[in-house]
Structure 1
């Protein structure tokens, strides 16, 4: 079992709760004990991977996570690429079937937010109408809201701005905010990601306007999309944290980045770098 001292939340540390997202070889569900032992507060596993697990494997993983008192603040990697939310192959019944199972598993793990990046699911086919894609995206978000409401689940979908090198649809925070406002459901919020802000060279000003719509936060050092380390120059990091503090954000901040030679070292150094930045803003 993980030592109780490693399970301190943001209330007992400087700034936000910090975690590790599923990305590259991080595998938070598999490496959960290592991640929290290195100073992180929570894990953010990939929901599409969780959905693909057998019932027996999922139950065993859920029991292990609960038994070790490991916090699952959120999940990412929402949709497998074969489930489309835009384009001619959208199947609402297939989407609903996925949501019923996947979201129930996320809730059982304790997740409060689902980061909705999923570029393979939402990218528009060539020559497909952007306005129709937007209508479909709004419709899918409302379907998510309906399923969450029907089950009274305490979870929100966090629509993510994903940069133009990964998808051709909803690349900026401004675009994501516009869609969330059109959806206009309390179950549908926003993800804010420092890496995607940097890749699109987008101002963070709208974070202040979005306020409590922001329900999940991710970051990486944009130079190589790697874990932050002491001494790294990370343009925009201080402003990013400052705007989160100004809006009273109370969720977690997860590192979604490529793992280097050693995950444990990456985690320890990232905690040191991020805490140092937060201390400077205190």
Structure 2
């Protein structure tokens, strides 16, 4: 199993030394204002690959509600996926709560169709770039739509494109008391996994049911990657123990 970490490319050497196999930066970091050739050079020299990216759509680019501009979204998505591909990316995580949250008073049915339309357009751009999308369910404190793995799968099925898959995030699942065995019921759609521990701190520091979660993942033959997305108190100090914990639990999971 490949374990990675959601962090900036500037932390790749610390991540590599700790034992992580990849880093997962933000799509926003590819739009930092620097000349893109400079960003490409940073990635090439990083020492770890960046097969996955998160923080896809900025909050000011609305995906649901009366302010949606699909043409503007398409320009952003096309350029983002082009840049992701150019630095070795294969998969983009679609969380983007600020962009997808349904405005108060707006029709949920209309918003759901807007999500389908957005992901359909994104799938067209995925076909051109070769990059895929993982829908990320977010807990109810962070988003008012797509709050469970099952709901993410429902949306992916509605879009019905090979490039649109689903992510399972142990933190969001635990926050909303979502059963860990949902990864079994929805295994065919899972392409990526995020993990943290109690309080969204680093793996191994809390009480999240890692043994059970990894057991269910293993039982499905899950072959994607697992990335830590958490709040680090001291990344350089905590990264190594976090990787060691994940490997130990994964190896012991039946």
Higher relative contact order (CA 8 A, sep 6+): 1
SS in 1 for 2:3: strand
- Name the structure 1 match of 2:208: 235
Written as runs of structure 1 = structure 2, the 5 A alignment for 1:129-148 is: 129-148=107-126
What is the CA-CA distance between 1:120 and the residue it aligns to?
0.3
Give the match's secondary structure for 1:243: helix
Choose from 41, 53, 60 the match for 2:38.
60
Q: Considering only aligned residues, what root-mean-square deviation do their CA atoms show, in Å? A: 1.5
Structure 2: how far apart are the matches of 1:179 and 1:68? Answer: 35
Give the counterpart of 2:133 among 153, 157, 162: 157
Distance (Å, rounded) in 2 between the aligned partners of 1:224 and 1:106: 30
Q: Structure 2: how far apart are the matches of 1:133 and 1:109?
A: 33
Residue 110 of structure 1 deviates from its aligned partner by 1.5
Q: CA shift at 1:197, angstroms?
A: 0.6
Partner of residue 271 from structure 1, selected from 243, 246, 251: 243
- Size of the aligned set, in residue pairs, is 254
Work out which of the residue numbers 5, 14, 19 in structure 2 matches 1:39: 19
- CA-to-partner distance for each residue in 1:27-49, whole Å, 9 max, x for gaps? x2121111112111100001123
If the length of structure 1 is used for normalisation, what is the TM-score?
A: 0.86
Specify which of 91, 95, 109 is matched with residue 113 of structure 1: 91
Q: Does the 8 Å CA contact 1:73/1:252 hold for their aligned counterparts?
A: no
Gaps in structure 1 of 5+ consecutive residues: 1-15, 23-27
Q: Distance in 1 between matches of 2:43 and 2:222?
A: 25
TM-score, length basis structure 2: 0.95
